[in-house]
Structure formats: structure tokens, C-alpha cells
Structure 1
Amino acid sequence: MPKVTASPPVTAPSTPPPRRSRIGDLQMRVVYRILAAAVAVIVAAVAAVVGFLSSGSSDRPGEGEPGQIAAPSAAGPSPGSTPSSTPTAQPTPSPSAEPTPDGSAVTAALADPRVPDLPGDKRLARLPGKSYASKRRIQDEKSGVSLIRFGEPWKPFGASPFATKQVLPAVKGAGHRAMLVSCPVPIEVQATVKDTALLAARWTLNHHPEGSRITWAASQPIDEGWLLAYQVKYEVKGKNRSSMAAVALTEVPGAKPAMVFVTIPDSQRKRWRDINTAMASIRRS
């Protein structure tokens, strides 16, 4: 019988070893744990930053959203509570609600050698000159009154610093120009309209020659106000001169009193009667 020989076993070609990951020999589950931990740290950091930014504006007392101002509470402190030491905003008083002055301004005015003590109530007498009437009126919207608008030789003039202004032609050597003006009273309002009129009369010396002195001619109540008339004496180039003047204050609701002031030098004495006319023409708007 033929001899049977066993053939050697066929071996499969060897396969190359698998390529390793760059991470090395770490198992994938360890990689996943590391990635998860890193993500958790990043999320926590972002949350902390957002929380800090959002709390930055609310941690400051008295601040709200940008562009808004917290309004103070209108309610007073509850019984037994201690008032806060932080000052609260107070409303700005309206002109009609100004605190009553202490009278020091009046005392100072009466101590001024240019201003004598006010006389007792005395009505304005009819002044020299001819009466010139006019039906035209000037409305002073700023002051809240209206008054006569004289015709020629009076004429409107640049009002500043007043609200309305009328003037007579300038006269050489008179010392100043005759004028009729109106405006809200330019000095501090006093406890009474009479005291305010006193300070206003003293203020009008700014519109007379330097060294002018007042001699009172009238002090009387008028409708919703007070009127003072006076002669103003001064020197011009060494010569004694004078003007006749008057100031009237009219109380206006919700505003400072309106002031009407007129002064006419003695070189235009024939127009002094216009002072009577002007003072009698004042009306509240």
C-alpha cells in the first residue's frame, strides 16, 4: 500500500498589530471621564461669570436699570421706626411757596442812606403835566400783567433785561433816559408785598445816576399789590437834578409778583402825569 504522509498545516498569514491611539494606552472610558470633568469645569466657570455680571448692578443701593432713577417713597416712616440717615429728595418749591424771608433784606435796605423809612399810607397825588390817554395795551406774558402802550413821543424799545420797555426820547444832560418797563420782580420776595416793593424801589436806583437818593411821595395798596412813588435826587456834572419815579408790584398766582417801573427826569417834567396813567393801567392777565 502506498505510504500516506500528512502534509504540514497551513498557517494563516500573520496580521500586523493594531495601531495605538495617540492618547496612549489609556482606556476609552478613562478618556470619557476626563472629557466630562473638563466640560463640567467650563460650565461652572461660565455660570460664575454670568452670576457676577448680573449681580453687579443690583448690589449697589439706589441703582436700578440703566437710565432709570429710583423715586423716593412718598410714605413716611412707620411708627417706632428709625428714620433713615440718607436724605430724601425734596420737591422744588414753586415761586408762590417760597419760604418767608427773615426780614434781614428789609433791615439792610432801611439802613441804606439812600433809602429813608417808608411813610404811612399815602396816595399818589396828580403829578404835573397833561394827561395822555391811549387805548392800546402791552401784554407782558412773562410777568402775567398788561399795561398801557403809550403813543408818541413814547416808543417801544429793546426790552432786555426787562420783559417790556417803552422810552421817551433821550435828553442831553438829564442823567438817564425816561422809561416804562415791566418784568417779574428781580429781587427776593419778602413776607409782604409792601416789603418786596421797598426792595424793588431800592433796586431801581441801579437805573439812575450814581449817588441817587430817594424821597418818598406815595405808599399805597393797589389791586393785588402795592405802589411806591418817589422823587430821585442826584447830580449831573455838578448840577442838582431829579426824576419822578414809581414802582408797582402786582401779585400773580403761581409766580413772582409782576413789577412795573417808570422813571422820568425833570427835563421832561411835562410828562410826569404819564406816571399816574401808567400806574392806573396795570391789570392782571
Structure 2
Amino acid sequence: MADVGDQYPSSDSPTTPFRKVVLPAEETVRIPRPSPQRPYLPPPPPPKRGPLSRVGDIPIKVVYLLAAIVATVVAVLLIFVIFSGDVPKQPPQPKVVPVTPALSATPTPKATTGAIVLPATPAKQALPRLPGKASATIGTITDRTTGIRYPRLGKPWKARSYPPFSVAQRVGKVAVPHTVIASAMLPGDEPLAKPKKVADYREIAVRGVRWTLLTQYPKGATLAWTGSRNLPLGKGWTLGYKVTYPVGSGRRTSQALLSVIEVGKTKPAMLLASIPESGKAHWRDLNTIAKAVRPL
């Protein structure tokens, strides 16, 4: 009978030598040695592009649009060049000479060519109290162009354009003779000697009255003096007069006054007030104006 120990499989003894394992030859890996680090240099900037180099960037629609505009302009210029000879030449225009308007609104009577002979002027005569009802005074007209002031009258008087007068108040329609109260510098280009005394302004006022007969009334008008006095305020003179003028086969009258006022300029200022017979209900307004006209 076999021994109990023989029933187990045999195994190597701990003293059995290990099997030699032969590894393949070691492989040598060569790693390249890094070269010395160079300094970083930025890439060079792109070359500058000229205007011509950018033409290719323009959209094709824009190119077509510009070409159409240029073609249109060229066509218009060609039309003008081709047909310019067909336009008739305008005849030379006569030279226009500016004319200074007279101190009145249209219609204006023509001035007479001959000298107007006036009656002798009274040295001093009180202005008469004229008939009619005085209009209400609603303020003061300050004419800074001439340098004077005088009453502003209420209805029916209205301040209206009346060139070349600086300021004007009128009643009714524009007709000759006018119903007007207006201020301006004394008309005329002749030089004036500075008055040495107040009475010398009387002759200057006569000059203004003569001008009114030439410009503000129909041809053939005559006058009679109704008053002659110095200004109540400031230096100057006021002349009152009644004008008789032809209308058709008859004659009509107007009441008027003219004041010249010293305002420190080369010529005095002038205030004219004239109301025809058709407006005699307002004749008393002439007294209102004569009392209050004065320099600024």
C-alpha cells in the first residue's frame, strides 16, 4: 500500500533555481538637444495699400451706380453743348437808373417846372382854432429816424406804410391831396446854413411848404397863410396854410401845417399835416399836432 504522502502531486522544491528570462537588448532612444531659445520677433506689418489697390473691394453695385451717374452728367453736358446755338439771344437790356421816390404815395401829382411864388410870410401869427372835433390821443409816435415825437391819434387815423416818410398816419383812401400826418427829414439836396436864431427857421419852413405844393397837391394849387409861430417845445418853426386847388371845373381847399424841428443833424426834421375839405371833420387834429410836436 502506498504511502499516504505519495497521493499528493509533486512540486518543485523551494530550492529549485528560477528560469532565466532573457530580455531583448535595450533600445537607446536619442532625444535631440534643444537649441538655445531665440528672442520672439513679431511678424512684419502688411504692406500699405494705396487707393488703387482698394478698388477691388468696392461692391459691383456701387461701381455700376457711379458709372450711371457719370454717364448721365456727360449726356446732359453734351445736350447743352449741341443745342446751345439754338437758344435765341436776348436783346441788350436798357440800363435802369434808380429814381428816389417823392415824399408821397401814389398817385402823385407832377411837380411844376416853374418856380412857385408864395405870398409874403407873416413874421408871427397865431394858428387859428380850426373847426371839427379833435380825435382822441392814444399815445406818442417816436420817430427815431428823424429825431422827433408827436401825438398818435386814435380812430379813424391809422399808422400805415407811406414811404419814404419815416412814419405816417392816414385816414381813408390814398388820393391827391392826401389826408396825412407824416414825418421825414426836410427834402432837398441843397446845403442849409445853420440858423443863427429861431426866426431863421421860418425861411426853412417856407422851403418845405413850397415843396408840398409841388408834390402833394394838383398842379395849379395856391395857398394863403393861416399861421406862423415858433415851436412851443424846442427850436423850429410852424407854418399854417390853406391850399386851394382845381378839381374838375371847380376848386377845393385843404387845411395844412408844416413844422421844421432842429434835431442836431445837417438838416432839420419836417412834420407835414394836410387834411382836404372832404375830411374837414378832422381839421381840429391839426391844432393837436401843432401844440405837441417836439424833438426827442
**Residue 175 of structure 1: how far off its partner (Å):** 4.2
SS in 1 for 2:263: coil
Cα deviations by residue, 1:186-205 (Å, 9 ceiling, x for unpaired)? 13435521111000011011
Is the counterpart of residue 170 in structure 1 residue 178 in structure 2? no
Is the counterpart of residue 232 in structure 1 residue 243 in structure 2? yes
Q: Superposed, which structure 2 residues align to 1:125-274 within 5 Å?
A: 125-170=128-173, 175-187=176-188, 188=190, 189-190=192-193, 191=195, 192-205=200-213, 206-222=215-231, 223=233, 224-274=235-285
SS in 2 for 1:149: strand
**Residue 122 of structure 1: how far off its partner (Å):** 0.1
Structure 2, unpaired ranges of 5+:
1-114
**Residue 211 of structure 1: how far off its partner (Å):** 0.9
Residue type at the aligned position of 1:150: L
State the alpha-carbon separation in 2 of the partners of residues 248 and 126 from structure 1. Answer: 17
State the alpha-carbon separation in 2 of the partners of residues 176 and 254 from structure 1. Answer: 30
Larger Cα-atom Rg: 2
Where does residue 76 of structure 2 map in the other structure? none
**Residue 151 of structure 1: how far off its partner (Å):** 1.3
Cα deviations by residue, 1:107-136 (Å, 9 ceiling, x for unpaired)? xxxx733x1111231010111111223131
State the alpha-carbon separation in 2 of the partners of residues 245 and 214 from structure 1. Answer: 10
State the alpha-carbon separation in 2 of the partners of residues 272 and 249 from structure 1. Answer: 20
* Conserved? CA contact 1:185–1:249, under 8 Å: yes
State the alpha-carbon separation in 2 of the partners of residues 152 and 176 from structure 1. Answer: 20
Where does residue 293 of structure 2 map in the other structure? 282
**Residue 255 of structure 1: how far off its partner (Å):** 4.2
* Conserved? CA contact 1:233–1:240, under 8 Å: yes
Is the counterpart of residue 119 in structure 1 residue 128 in structure 2? no
Residue type at the aligned position of 1:272: W
Q: TM-score, normalised by structure 1?
A: 0.57
SS in 2 for 1:136: strand
Structure 1, unpaired ranges of 5+:
1-110
* Conserved? CA contact 1:175–1:236, under 8 Å: no
* Conserved? CA contact 2:186–2:270, under 8 Å: yes
- Rate the CA distance shift 1:144–1:175 in 2: closer, same or farther, 3 A: closer
State the alpha-carbon separation in 1 of the partners of residues 165 and 173 from structure 2. Answer: 19
Structure 1 window deviating more from structure 2 (174-183 vs 151-160): it is 174-183
State the alpha-carbon separation in 2 of the partners of residues 120 and 251 from structure 1. Answer: 19
State the alpha-carbon separation in 1 of the partners of residues 264 and 176 from structure 2. Answer: 37
SS in 2 for 1:147: strand
* Conserved? CA contact 1:133–1:277, under 8 Å: no
SS in 2 for 1:193: helix
**Residue 177 of structure 1: how far off its partner (Å):** 2.3
State the alpha-carbon separation in 2 of the partners of residues 254 and 146 from structure 1. Answer: 16
- Rate the CA distance shift 1:236–1:147 in 2: closer, same or farther, 3 A: same
State the alpha-carbon separation in 2 of the partners of residues 141 and 120 from structure 1. Answer: 31
Report the number of matched residues.
172
SS in 1 for 2:242: strand
Cα deviations by residue, 1:166-192 (Å, 9 ceiling, x for unpaired)? 111138xx7422000001111343552
SS in 1 for 2:245: strand
Q: TM-score, normalised by structure 2?
A: 0.55
